[in-house]
Amino acid sequence: MRIAQIMAGAAQGGAELFFERLSIALHRDGEAVLPVIRPDPARMARLRAAGLQPRGLRFGGPLDPLTRVRAGRLLRDFDTQIAVAWMSRAASQAPRGAWPLVGRLGGYYDLKYFRRCDHLVGNTRDIVRWIAQEGWPADRVSYVPNFVDDFAATAPADRAGLGVPAGATLVLGLGRLHEVKGFDVLIRAVAAIPDMHLVIAGEGPERAALTALVRDCGVADRVHLPGWRTDVGALLRAADVFVSSSRHEPLGNMVLEAFSAGVPVVAAAAEGPRELITQGVDGLLVAIDDPAALAAAIADVLGDRGRGAALAAAGRARYEAEFAAPIVVAAWRTLLGDLIRKGGR
């Protein structure tokens, strides 16, 4: 297949990273893939290192009519058979042509941006349900989950380099330092549990506020904010428990990554974690914005190592059955092939 992958996203983010992973995986499986992206140098370099030839366009919004014209020319020159537009901006500026246009949603986006699309793909069943509820034809939307890397054999990160003493219990949070991620709730939860270290790996606008909260809670010696890290697998493998404290999380790639790494998961019951986690089987769910409940669940997992190991093993089994790369890439290839044959319908 000749597949155009169109992404107008930011330099960092879960959807952007999965766009790269899927583009590279489809290419490695023998498909011809044309990534059309904003010209972020690091993303360009990663895609080129994998053997792809990305093309950069401005994607400047409604006042940028040239992007769609130039994208159309790129897709025609590539002999595109099908195009996948990732998120709202790419979908609204993607060119129409002889190819079916697929919109990929990783959240509850306004569907007005996807009205040019022939078919939509949601990465959770709840997003698919919501798309149909919003009036999109149910036979023109499909569920295909994300995949994440297999971290089973990844070496753990050096705890000392994170500021965590040898033998200490390590709780891990990952993600952008933004209010929606609920890291303030996680800090308050860990502050209530003695002798426990918390690492929150990420960067963002809430750094100053979170640093102040750490100081105010009196836990500056055991809460660490190392900044943005790319060694997610190593961090997870070094952790005793992974916590997703998000107030809003459409999917939760980090839950899948924790499943892959075989680390027990505790999560606030936002949309994605609520769908992914079977309570008490492969993780623990607690109410959103409840530091006491979060602290109790963390202590529960860490106080019973046998239970923590059972949760981790069940999460790993879920990863292998549903979220490993070969399974998800095969699902994408099947769907795209079917849509080519049916003209996108």
CATH code, domain carrying 188: 3.40.50.2000
pLDDT score at 63: 78
pLDDT score at 230: 87
Which domain covers residue 288, as residue numbers? 160-322
Mean pLDDT of the region 233-252: 95
For 34-45, what is each residue's pLDDT tens digit? 999 998 999 999
Mean pLDDT of the region 315-327: 96
310 shares a domain with 297 = yes
pLDDT score at 48: 97
210 shares a domain with 317 = yes
pLDDT score at 17: 87
For 208-223, what is each residue's pLDDT tens digit? 999 999 999 999 999 9
Mean pLDDT of the region 175-193: 96
Distance (Å, whole) CA 213 – CA 303: 26
Per-chain mean pLDDT for the chain = 95
142 shares a domain with 18 = yes
Distance (Å, whole) CA 133 – CA 246: 25
pLDDT at residue 52 greater than cutoff 90: yes
Amino acid at position 284, single letter: L
262 shares a domain with 133 = no
pLDDT at residue 81 greater than cutoff 70: yes
Is residue 106 in some structural domain? yes
CB 337 within 8 A of CB 144: no
Is residue 175 in some structural domain? yes
186 shares a domain with 114 = no
Is residue 154 in some structural domain? no
CA distances from 89 to 10, 21, 59, 85, 342 (A): 11, 20, 8, 9, 26
pLDDT at residue 14 greater than cutoff 90: no
CA atoms within 13 A on the CB side of 273: 29
Is residue 215 in some structural domain? yes
189 shares a domain with 68 = no
pLDDT score at 301: 96
169 shares a domain with 69 = no
pLDDT at residue 344 greater than cutoff 70: no
310 shares a domain with 334 = no
Q: Is the dihedral of CA 143, 274, 279, 233 positive or negative?
A: positive
Distance (Å, whole) CA 131 – CA 91: 15
pLDDT score at 64: 84
Is residue 155 in some structural domain? no
Higher pLDDT: 265 or 63? It is 265
Pairing of strands 169-174, 265-268: unpaired
Of the candidates 236, 255, 245, 240, the one whose C-alpha atom is nearest the C-alpha of residue 183 is: 245
pLDDT at residue 277 greater than cutoff 90: yes
pTM of the shown model? 0.88
232 shares a domain with 131 = no
212 shares a domain with 70 = no
The domain tally of the chain equals 2
pLDDT at residue 61 greater than cutoff 80: no
